[in-house]
Amino acid sequence: MSSASRARAIACPTCVLSMAITCETGPMTQEGRNVPRRPLSFGPEDLEAHGGTSPGPAELTEIAHQSAAVLLGAGRAAHDPEVTARLVTLVDDLGLDTVAELWSGRPGRSLPGALWRLYALREMVRRNPVQSSMEYAAGIRFTDVAHAVAGIAEPPTPDELVRTIDSILSGVFDGDLAVALERAAAFCMVLAAGRAEVANDTDQADEAQASKLTAHAAAIQTTGSDLLAAAALWRAGALD
């Protein structure tokens, strides 16, 4: 994608999302609640009015929240397994970079931030299913409650992890969003514990690699905490 195309895609969330789903951009509700934030119109003509430059920070923030609300609202209103499947594989269609441009800059305890972390978690597992399976298995004995919440069958094979992470993401659109976020959070906690254990086993043989794994484990644990907090915010009607 060229820089101009990328800027235009970022500037128009409905343009980006229409590649994955045809949806309304008018008022929507999520289980009786108003979708947060008003729709923001920023299409090619608006980009031209800005001198061909990308939107400013405030507009990018509004775009991130609006596009997340559109995606979530349309997906939950569809009640269509085919739509849900397309939304689960959104990154496969758009590319991780495009989704990152839209949402990765938002806090983890926000709607776009939570969605970004879910998609990034799915991508991490799909890119390294064997490593993820090994680390998850190593973490179970430290996090038995979280393992039960995540809902992964034993043994946690690579295929089972991929299936489960897709199931969790499906629940965002066709189930209870708070439960999906809690399952993802639990998944992260088990994975983080396992990666930390692998780091501990690696320490004497490769200290640099062990430090890298430890840092990654801490980042995954933070993601889990953010997703758990996002679930509580959704239940309180405050996940924006």
Splitting the chain (240 residues) into consecutive groups of 10 residues, what average pLDDT does each group show? 45 50 41 40 45 71 92 92 93 90 95 97 96 96 97 94 97 97 98 95 86 95 98 97
| pLDDT for 158 | 97
| pLDDT for 34 | 39
User: What residue segments make up the domains of the chain, in order of their start?
Assistant: 1-80, 106-240
Helices (H) and strands (E) in the chain, counts: 13, 2
| pLDDT for 3 | 45
How many of the other CB atoms lie within 10 Å of CB of 236? Answer: 9
> Taking the mean position of all CA atoms in its chain, how far away is CA 226?
11
83 sits in the region (left: phi over 0; alpha: psi -120 to 50; else beta) called alpha
Burial of 134 (0-12, 13-18, 19+ CB in 10 A): middle
Phi, psi at 157, each rounded to 5°? -70, 165
Q: How far is 183 from 112, CA to CA, in rounded Å?
A: 18
Q: How far is 145 from 135, CA to CA, in rounded Å?
A: 17
The pTM assigned to this predicted structure is 0.81
* Structure tokens belonging to residue 76: 């939950």
| pLDDT for 204 | 80
| pLDDT for 17 | 55
